[in-house]
Amino acid sequence: MKGQIDGNTRLMGLIGNPVAHTLSPVIHNTLNELTGRNGVYVPFPVQEEAVGLAVRGAYALDILGLNVTVPYKQAVISALQSVDPAAAAIGAVNTLVRSEGGYKGYNTDMPGLLRAISSEGIQLKGKTVVILGAGGAAKAVAYLCMQEKAERIYLLNRTVERARDIAESLNRCFGRSGITPMEVKEYRQLPEGPWIVFQCTTLGLYPETKRVVIEDTWFYQQTAIGIDLIYNPAKTLFMQLVEKAGGRAQNGLKMLLYQGIIAYELWNHTEIPEEMAEQVYDRLYEAVHPAGDNIVLIGFMGSGKTTVGHRLEQYGYSFIDTDAYIEAREGRSITRIFEEEGEEYFRNVETEVLSELCTNTKHSVLSVGGGTPLRRENARLLRELGEVFYLEASEEEIWKRIGADTNRPLLQCEQPMERIKELLAARRPIYEAAARYRIPTGGRVIDEIAKEIYHDRTERNGI
């Protein structure tokens, strides 16, 4: 939202209990801000006996739309004017949209998950899917797998009766017996992989992060892709086991993002472009991954990251050059990595290294490769590491500093100055978006730049 609350401000909100830790306001208020809509999103804790009253009261107050969270996704249905058929089949509603005479209920968790996995290039059609859990979320996932024509769906739950109930109702709904219910401990009877596994139990959720439904390595060796609906912690034990066995793992943060975006689209009769969705995701990511106490220096080659970084050591920081870190880890130079494995491989290693540094680096200053922030995921990881400073330098300054350097492969061309101009024009907006602060470096001595970074930082953090 831009500006003040006024007579035209539309209210959106969330009902549930508890609601204090919800991330939905981050999604919707960011969308209000980015789209310029005059709207505000507020969470409302509601007591069980007052759910119907709250829904009718919200309608009377002309509240534009509501989300519904645990434990009212089923209970709310009786207070609605109508229910979308998919939400009715799942038996859970998480979004209320105004309609003639009352709210209509939708389930955006399911299409939200579909958009989240599609954005990662994951398709369900013809695949073997294993779903762990048989609660509300698992039922939405099972519905999605049937809708997307997964070939075989195994629904594993500790309480097998719940898995049976879901299988029975969805197999009937779709007119085919695609879902096989099983007790979790029978998992060794599953056919061999590759599988796509959805982890839909509450095990592993913060603060009990050391828990997982199945520990057996065999299970993870069959798992080509593992999607955990949990997003706190960002990497659950389930995801770690998937990756350790060589599979791909994803958490539930994108699902959360897209269920919110779809609700917002329904309320406002609009379509949120992908670039805007990414911006909202940046905010969500920051909300669940608070920044570490490191200093991160980004910028074009020749902007002074290494020199300034070393100068910051005088303030008690350890210095890490991420390119040198990668070379040590890989046991070969970056030029050789490029030659032997190609750029894609190098970029993947770079992302892995940043994730690793996020878990094991404190009070350090990191000088980061000029191309690193170009990957959006890397830019998020850099902000997770610490405060990001963009060292700005003009084309001329860069040329002055590195023009004679023959070790810069990007500049080994006929018109290096033109190349610098071209690259800088493309990268400048990306550096600006990735950084929290811009530090001009032209015509300044190193000490002055280092001092500005250090003092700005300590003042802001009250150290």
Binds ligand NAP (CB under 6 A): choice among 202, 209, 221, 394: 202
Minimum CB distance to ligand NAP, residue 239 (Å): 13
Integer Cα distance of 117 and 258 in angstroms: 10
Minimum CB distance to ligand NAP, residue 248 (Å): 17
Biggest distance spanned by C-alpha atoms of the chain: 75
Minimum CB distance to ligand NAP, residue 164 (Å): 11
Which range, of 9-17, 251-259, 323-331, 349-357, touches ligand NAP by CB under 6 A? 251-259
Binds ligand NAP (CB under 6 A): choice among 171, 201, 223, 367: 201
Give whole-number Cα distances, 402 to 208, 302, 442, in Å.
51, 6, 14
- Three-state secondary structure call for residue 226: strand
Identify which of residues 205 and 324 has a Cβ nearer to ligand NAP in the complex.
Answer: 205
Which of the residues 337 through 396 are near ligand NAP (CB under 6 A)?
Answer: none
Binds ligand NAP (CB under 6 A): choice among 105, 252, 309, 371: 252
| Residues 274, 412 contacting (CB under 8 angstroms) | no
Identify whether 73 is a catalytic site residue: yes
Minimum CB distance to ligand NAP, residue 178 (Å): 19
Integer Cα distance of 459 and 3 in angstroms: 29
Minimum CB distance to ligand NAP, residue 214 (Å): 9
Identify which of residues 288 and 334 has a Cβ nearer to ligand NAP in the complex.
Answer: 288
Q: Any contact of residue 187 with ligand NAP (CB under 6 A)?
A: no
CA nearest 106: which of 122, 123, 89, 121?
89
Integer Cα distance of 265 and 290 in angstroms: 28
Binds ligand NAP (CB under 6 A): choice among 230, 241, 242, 420: 230
Integer Cα distance of 148 and 179 in angstroms: 13
CA angle (120 as vertex; 115, 121 as ends), nearest 5: 95
Q: Number of C-alpha atoms within 13 angstroms, CB side, residue 189?
A: 10
Which range, of 39-47, 195-203, 282-290, 415-423, touches ligand NAP by CB under 6 A? 195-203
Identify which of residues 132 and 381 has a Cβ nearer to ligand NAP in the complex.
Answer: 132
Minimum CB distance to ligand NAP, residue 435 (Å): 29
CA nearest 372: which of 298, 442, 423?
298
Which range, of 233-241, 249-257, 385-393, 417-425, touches ligand NAP by CB under 6 A? 249-257
Identify which of residues 157 and 322 has a Cβ nearer to ligand NAP in the complex.
Answer: 157
DSSP class of 47? -
Binds ligand NAP (CB under 6 A): choice among 51, 203, 237, 353: 203
Identify which of residues 88 and 374 has a Cβ nearer to ligand NAP in the complex.
Answer: 88
Identify which of residues 15 and 423 has a Cβ nearer to ligand NAP in the complex.
Answer: 15
| Residues 260, 27 contacting (CB under 8 angstroms) | yes
What's the length of the chain? 463
CA nearest 261: which of 423, 99, 30?
30
Binding mask 85-114 for ligand NAP (x = CB under 6 A): ------------------------x-----
Integer Cα distance of 163 and 411 in angstroms: 60
| Residues 394, 443 contacting (CB under 8 angstroms) | no
Peptide bond into 194 cis (omega under 30): yes
Minimum CB distance to ligand NAP, residue 71 (Å): 9
Minimum CB distance to ligand NAP, residue 109 (Å): 5
Identify which of residues 256 and 424 has a Cβ nearer to ligand NAP in the complex.
Answer: 256
| Residues 258, 112 contacting (CB under 8 angstroms) | yes
Binding mask 118-157 for ligand NAP (x = CB under 6 A): ---------------xxxxxx------------------x
What letter represents residue 301's amino acid? M
Structure-token pair, residue 444: 């300044």
Q: Number of C-alpha atoms within 13 angstroms, CB side, residue 345?
A: 10
| Residues 151, 180 contacting (CB under 8 angstroms) | no
DSSP class of 119? T
Among residues 73, 127, 235, 305, the one annotated as catalytic is 73
User: Which residues are at the interface with ligand NAP (CB under 6 A)?
Assistant: 70, 109, 133-138, 157-159, 162, 200-203, 205, 213, 229-231, 252, 255-256, 259
Active site residues: 73
